[in-house]
Every structure is written in structure tokens, then in C-alpha cells.
Amino acid sequence: MSNLSIVIVDDDSMILMLHEHVLRKANLLNGKSALSAFDGQEALKVLEQNAHPDTTFLVLLDLNMPVMDGWEFLDALEESNISSDVFVSIVTSSLDYTDKHKAEEYRKILSYIEKPLSLKSLEELKSMTQLNAFFK
């Protein structure tokens, strides 16, 4: 069984803290801390540095960030050779229908969550086929 590592990607440090708190309340961290990054470029480095064949990543990804936004991160992730499974949940304040529609084009995206992250949305993530084995 592989390990699940969660990476929170958001340019707002308060959101990073809030998401970590909600993840802990939803029992998604199993006593560990989430990894975090302030933009897509930093998130790619975090994934590369922590990649291992026995690690699966769940990335909670904001879309609107400086340096490398969420879409640029997803494009770079598609072309990377990271040795771990990586699943993504978009967590954004964007209510733009085109963003939601565009998210459907990426095979690694499991869900599209409108901020704020909630216990309900995390319970839905935990029940997804790609992740539910980590929570039995």
C-alpha cells in the first residue's frame, strides 16, 4: 500500500493554514502535515523532491496565482516524469463556468471545489475510487 501525501498550493498563507486545519479535522493527514507551495512552480519542486513509487499525491490546487498559475502547473505536470501517482482537486474562488469546463480536460483532476474547503467536500474526495483505499 502506498502512502498518501497532500500538497496544498495557494498564494495566500491564511488559506494554506485554513486548508491544513480542515484536512486535519477531516482525518486526511494521518498525523502528518500537508506539504505546501505558494505557486505552481514551487508545487512542481515539492512533488519532484518528495516523489517516490510508493507515494501518491493529492494536490489541492488554486487556479489564480503568480509565477505559475494552476493551469500552467497542470500542463507542466502532464509533461513531467514524476515517479508518483498525482491526483488534483481544484480548490478555487473562481465561479467562472469556463474554468470548471476546462478542468474536465485534465485526466488528473478528481474534483472542482469552490472555496472555502469544507468537511463535506473532503468526505466526497475520500470516497473517490482513486483515494478511498487510503482511508479504510
Contact 6, 60 (CB under 8 A): yes
42-65 pLDDT tens trace: 999 999 999 998 999 999 999 999
5-33 pLDDT tens trace: 999 999 999 999 999 999 999 989 888 89
Q: What is the mean pLDDT of residues 119-123?
A: 95
Contact 70, 62 (CB under 8 A): yes
Q: Among 100, 96, 99, 107, which residue's Cα sits nearest to residue 130?
A: 107
Neighbours of 70 (CB within 10 A): 26
Query: What are the residue ranges spanned by the domains of the chain?
Result: 3-129
- The alpha carbon of 1 is separated from its chain's Cα centroid by a whole number of angstroms, namely 20
**Report field, pTM of the whole predicted structure over 0.85:** yes
pLDDT band at 131 (very low <50, low <70, confident <90, very high): very high
Residue 131's Cβ-count burial label (10 Å; 0-12, 13-18, 19+) is: middle
Contact 90, 109 (CB under 8 A): yes
Q: Which CATH architecture has domain 3-129?
A: 3-Layer(aba) Sandwich (3.40)
- Give the chain's radius of gyration (CA, Å): 14
Q: Among 63, 15, 6, which residue's Cα sits nearest to residue 39?
A: 63
